[in-house]
Amino acid sequence: MKIVFLGPPGVGKGTIADMILAKHPEITKLSTGDLFRENIQQGTPLGKKAQEYMNQGKLVPDELVIDMVKDKISGMDNFILDGFPRTVPQAESLGQIANIDKVINFIAKEEIILQRLGGRRTCPNCKAIFHVVNMPTKKEGICDNCGANIIQRDDDKEEAIKKRLVVYDQQTKPLINYYKEKNMLVDIDAAQPVRIDIAKDTAKAMDLSY
Using only C-alpha atoms, the chain has a radius of gyration, in whole angstroms, of: 16
- Per the DSSP assignment, residues forming a β-bridge with 121 are 130
* Among the listed residues 3, 15, 40, 23, the one whose alpha carbon sits nearest the alpha carbon of residue 119: 15
Give yes or no for a contact between 153 and 122, defined as CB atoms under 8 angstroms apart: yes
Residue 125, CA distances (Å) to 37, 58, 129, 143 in order: 11, 24, 11, 9
Which one, 106 or 200, has the nearer CB to ligand AMP?
A: 106
Q: Which residues contact 46 (CB under 8 A, 6 or more apart)?
A: 36, 39, 64, 68
Nearer to ligand AMP, 32 or 105 (CB): 32
The residue (of 55 and 145) whose beta carbon lies closer to ligand AMP is 55
CB atoms within 10 A of CB 114: 15
CB nearer to ligand AMP: give 9 or 12: 9
How many whole angstroms separate alpha carbon 173 and alpha carbon 113?
15
CB of 203 to ligand AMP, least distance (A): 21
Least separation, in Å, of the C-beta of 84 and ligand AMP? 4
Q: How far is the CB of 36 from ligand AMP (least distance, A)?
A: 5
- Minimum Å gap between C-beta 33 and ligand AMP is 2
Of 27 and 175, which has the nearer Cβ to ligand AMP?
Answer: 175
Give me the least distance between CB of 209 and ligand AMP, in Å please.
27
Residues known to be catalytic = 13, 86, 120, 153, 164
Helix axes 45-55, 62-73, angle to 10 degrees: 130
- The binding site for ligand AMP (CB under 6 A) comprises 9, 32-33, 36, 53-54, 57-60, 65, 83-86, 90, 155, 164
DSSP 116-131: HHHTEEE-TTT--EEE
Residue nearest to ligand AMP (CB): 33
